[in-house]
Every structure is written in C-alpha cells, then in structure tokens.
Structure 1
Amino acid sequence: MKRRSPAAPLLLPFVTFGIYALVWFAKTKNEINLVAPSRIPTTWLVILPIISYWWLWKFAVGVQETTGFSRAGAFWLLLLLGPIGAAIVQDSLNNSVPAPILRAGSPQPAVSI
C-alpha cells in the first residue's frame, strides 16, 4: 500500500469539487484488493444512489481486513463525515503500512499525496 497524506482526502475534494474523493476511493480500493481477502467491486458503483451504501460497506470491510479498524466505524465515518472520515481512514491505512527501512546516509523517503 502507498502511504498518502491524510490531508489529501480531507482538503482536495473541496478544491476539485468532489472529484478527488472518487479518485481516492479508486486508488485505495485497488490497493486494498491487493492485500485483503475480500474483493471490493468497481468504484463506479459509488455514484449510484442506493448501491453506494452497499459499496461503502464493502470498502469498510476491506479497510477492516487491511488495518484492523472497525468496519462499522469506517463505514459511519465515511458516510457521515465524508472528507474527515476519509482522512481518518487514510491515517489508519498509513499506520498499517510498514515503515521503510532507512540505511545510514540515505535520504528520507518523500510522502506523496
């Protein structure tokens, strides 16, 4: 999984009129599908009115399998708090990624958004 700044899903949806939220869901869904046993379906389902709740639940299940974060907690954070919930979920995803091993004299790795 790629480490991302939690500020990205918090602030960029406001700048991009919500488009970055969809991009963030798609990127993290693909990364979760690589490591989690359950499969999260295509991100296009998140734009459908009723099915988006089911898709968000499947995404929360993937977050739980990847990070140990509560699936109900992830679901309600994303549903009720939107970008704030996404920042919290991104932070838990970042915490599940092992820190890179640095050798003496090597530069610090950059954290990308």
Structure 2
Amino acid sequence: MTNPGATTQWGGPQPPAPDSAASGWGVLGKRRNPFAAWLGLPLITLGIYGLVWVYKTNRELSQYDRRITVNPVMSVLACTLGVVLIVPPFVAAWRLGTRTAQAQRAAGVPELSTGVAFLLFLVGFGPLYLQSEINKIWARYPVAVEGQQVPLAP
C-alpha cells in the first residue's frame, strides 16, 4: 500500500499501486532509434521486425495511457492476414497514428498530424515518423527508465 503523502526520489508524488485504475499514471516505453525501426532492423530480419515493432509500439502506448485501448495482436494480424482484405492494414496504420497523438496529448507534448503519419505510411516512411514522435513522449521524462511509472500531463 502506498503512503498518499510520500514522494518519489524525483520529488513527485508517489505513484498509485499497480492495480490502481487511476489514469494519471502510465508506464514509460522504450526509446528506439527511428532509423533502425524504419529500415535497419526490418531489412535484417526480412520484415519480421516491422511486425514486432507494430506489436511493441501498440502495447507500450496502451500501457503508457490506459485510456488507449488496443489489442496489439489484432494490429499485427491486420498488418499480415488483413492484407487479403486490403483495408485492415490501412486502418491499423491510421489507428496507430491516432493512438500516438492521444499518448502525446497525455504527455503534454505537441501532437503529430495523424493525416501526415498516414500519408507517410503509404509511401513507406510511417515507422520513421511515428517512432521519432513516440520518442518525444518518452523524452518528456529524462530521468525515468523504461518500465517505470510516470505521471501523465493533467
């Protein structure tokens, strides 16, 4: 149980217990090199890392802000098996952009343009743009480490 008046080593209020439903706290994700996420690792792994990136990114955004509801597995399925139906990969790309903008809003950083993110996905630059925008969220917490609870912007 947490002490309501206690503070963390950074001087902020102590985070709620992990089972708390409070939306004022989130879990910090991993800072990734945008060029590695966009081109390097997908080339080395023959495209597999692109799917891993979609899964991890969606999972981290939902852990950062619990108001972002997403099933990362469904996003990956939309990008793989959904290609048969043509539309699902485009929906998954659009929604990843909106989730990133929602997380940026929760972090108190300027929001990306979902339309620009979607257009960049269409021409192959989506992961580069989105990962650089996601890194701006994580950069808001310079002392925190991946997996640590951090406060969301009011």
1:100 and 2:130 aligned: no
Aligned 1:34-53 pairs, distance under 5 A: 34-36=63-65, 37-41=67-71, 42=74, 43-47=76-80, 48-49=82-83, 50-53=87-90
Q: Distance in 2 between matches of 1:85 and 1:55?
A: 12
Deviations 1:7-27 (A, max 9, x none): 221211111111111000100
Match of 1:8 among 17, 20, 36: 36
- Matched residue, 1:63: 100
Change in CA separation of 1:73 and 1:40 when aligned onto 2, cut-off 3 Å: farther
Q: Distance in 2 between matches of 1:57 and 1:87?
A: 15
Q: Distance in 1 between matches of 2:135 and 2:79?
A: 23
Q: Distance in 1 between matches of 2:100 and 2:61?
A: 7
Given the two structures, how large is their TM-score scaled by the length of structure 1?
0.77
Aligned 1:83-98 pairs, distance under 5 A: 84-97=125-138, 98=140
Q: Distance in 2 between matches of 1:94 and 1:60?
A: 14
Q: Distance in 2 between matches of 1:77 and 1:39?
A: 24
| Number of residue pairs aligned between Structure 1 and Structure 2 | 101
Q: Point out the more displaced range, 69-78 or 37-46.
A: 37-46
Identity percentage over the alignment? 27
Q: CA deviation at 1:87?
A: 1.6
Match of 2:47 among 18, 30, 37: 18
Structure 2 unaligned regions, length at least 5: 1-28, 105-110, 146-154
Q: Secondary structure at the match of 1:58?
A: helix
Q: CA deviation at 1:59?
A: 1.1
Aligned Cα root-mean-square deviation (Å): 2.0
Tell which has more relative contact order, 1 or 2 (C-alpha 8 A, sep 6+).
1
More helix by share: 1
Q: Distance in 1 between matches of 2:102 and 2:95?
A: 11
Moved beyond 6 Å, runs of 4+? none
Contact 2:61 2:68 in 1 (8 A): no
